[in-house]
Amino acid sequence: MLETNAKSLGQIQADPAMLALRALGWILTDTDRASRMLALTGLTPNILRHDISEKATLAAILAFLEAHEPDLIAAAEHIGATPQALVCARMELEA
């Protein structure tokens, strides 16, 4: 069981979309941070609902974190990833 969980965690960390979704979950735990993300990215609740699987939307979420290092570090820590993994995920989503 532990081996399966470790494998699943590794797959999550390797999947840019999953990292972005987990990061979004962290962003949304704080109303001020969520409002700042919407204001700075141009995303709206409707866009998030309808385009959440779009690479550009997911990349914008990660770019928001990347623009403010304390949030990048805190989000990475919360979701069990490294800041570098989030940056690489954004780059992969933008490719």
38's CB contacts (< 8 A; 6+ apart) are: 44, 45
The two tokens of residue 57 are: 């939307």
What's the rounded mean pLDDT across residues 42-57? 96
User: What is the chain's mean pLDDT, rounded?
Assistant: 90
Main-chain phi, psi angles of 15, to 5 degrees? -100, 110
pLDDT one-digit tens code per residue, 61-90: 999 999 999 999 999 999 999 999 999 999
pTM comes to 0.85
